[in-house]
């Protein structure tokens, strides 16, 4: 493949991630030339409602996957946490770049820290996971939907739309904006979204693509994300489900800790499982299946 066309959303963060993939292809896979193709997604155009009300996180990938399927692009670059659990049949995840910091960054207007927010303060976030975790830690706070790219959300915070917001530290680092964070939240008490911090590269299932992208695949990241996506698959995770978790890899084994919460944060349950790296997806799936069985259908039905 002498030219690889890279499909991406058009936000500054998405473009930064696409350029990272282009650099990896040139430096590590011997690709002669790349072209970045910007594709506007439905998720980029709907900014006034939570994704759970309009079709879920697949709204950030649908149009890009269509371009991949019809040959207009050769790969699609996604934030791992934006991917649907089940991909189109003819597509697969060909590679992951080395994972960035998985933690969430808290940004308080005026530099206020999370613990010091006054009662009734408004935290702006469209993520049901973040809303549930905020409410679990501080039931006295209010959560309101805040959509848009990183720059849009930071601008709205400055304008006083809310008192604080949360963003993935990985995105801030890739943009060189980590300095805006008031504090970095501990992942043991504020666990990240599944696959947060991972750049996923989606490709067609053809031999040439599989061979090319295998050269830039970061194995440890791929194993961890496989376990996390397995956990999500077992729980039928969607944008209506507050799910969090993180897998770590070491000494030939993968360990996953996953959490499910009610949207109001009043009830939550977690689980930890580990197993050989070769069975990463199964380790995650079994953890999700066991947690789902423990909680029962009624737990999930309350917001399904």
Token representation of residue 130: 């973040």
CA distance 89 to 255: 28
CA distance 59 to 44: 8
Closest CA to 1 of 208, 205, 204: 208
- Catalytic: which of 74, 82, 101, 104? 82
89 Cβ contact partners less than 8 Å away, ≥ 6 residues apart: none
Beta 75-79 vs 199-204: how paired, if at all? antiparallel
Q: What is the 3-state secondary structure (H, E, C) of 191-220?
A: CCCCCCCCEEEEEECCHHHHHHHHCCCCHH
Closest CA to 230 of 167, 297, 291, 294: 291
Token representation of residue 87: 């991909």
CA distance 192 to 212: 30
121 Cβ contact partners less than 8 Å away, ≥ 6 residues apart: 141, 142, 163, 164
Residue 163 bears catalytic tag: no
In the chain, DSSP assigns E strands to: 3-8, 33-38, 75-79, 91-96, 104-108, 122-124, 142-144, 164-168, 183-184, 199-204, 243-250, 253-261, 268-276
Which sequence positions are flagged as catalytic?
A: 82
């Amino acid at each position: 493949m002498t030219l690889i066309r890279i499909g991406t959303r058009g936000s500054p963060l998405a473009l930064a991630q696409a350029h990272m993939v282009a650099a990896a292809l040139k430096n590590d896979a011997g690709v002669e030339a790349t072209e970045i193709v910007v594709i506007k997604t439905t998720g980029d155009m709907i900014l006034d409602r939570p994704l759970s009300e309009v079709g879920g996180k697949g709204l950030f990938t649908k149009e890009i996957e269509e371009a991949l399927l019809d040959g207009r692009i050769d790969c699609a670059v996604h934030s791992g946490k934006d991917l649907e659990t089940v991909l189109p049949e003819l597509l697969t995840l060909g590679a992951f770049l080395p994972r960035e910091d998985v933690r969430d960054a808290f940004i308080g207007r005026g530099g206020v820290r999370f613990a010091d927010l006054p009662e009734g303060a408004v935290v702006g976030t469209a993520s049901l996971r973040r809303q549930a975790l905020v409410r679990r830690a501080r039931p006295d706070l209010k959560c309101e939907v805040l959509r848009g790219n990183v720059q849009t959300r930071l601008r709205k915070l400055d304008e006083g739309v809310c008192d604080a917001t949360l963003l993935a530290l990985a995105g801030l680092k890739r943009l060189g904006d980590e300095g805006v964070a008031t504090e970095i939240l501990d992942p043991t008490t504020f666990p990240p979204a599944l696959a947060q911090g991972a750049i996923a590269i989606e490709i067609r299932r053809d031999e040439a693509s599989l061979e090319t992208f295998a050269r830039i695949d970061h194995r440890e990241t791929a194993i961890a994300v496989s376990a996390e996506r397995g956990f999500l698959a077992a729980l039928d995770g969607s944008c209506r489900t507050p799910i969090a978790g993180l897998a770590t890899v070491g000494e030939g084994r993968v360990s996953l800790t996953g959490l499910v919460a009610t949207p109001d944060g009043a009830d939550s349950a977690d689980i930890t499982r580990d197993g050989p790296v070769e069975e990463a997806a199964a380790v995650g799936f079994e953890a999700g299946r066991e947690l789902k069985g423990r909680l029962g259908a009624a737990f999930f039905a309350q917001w399904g």
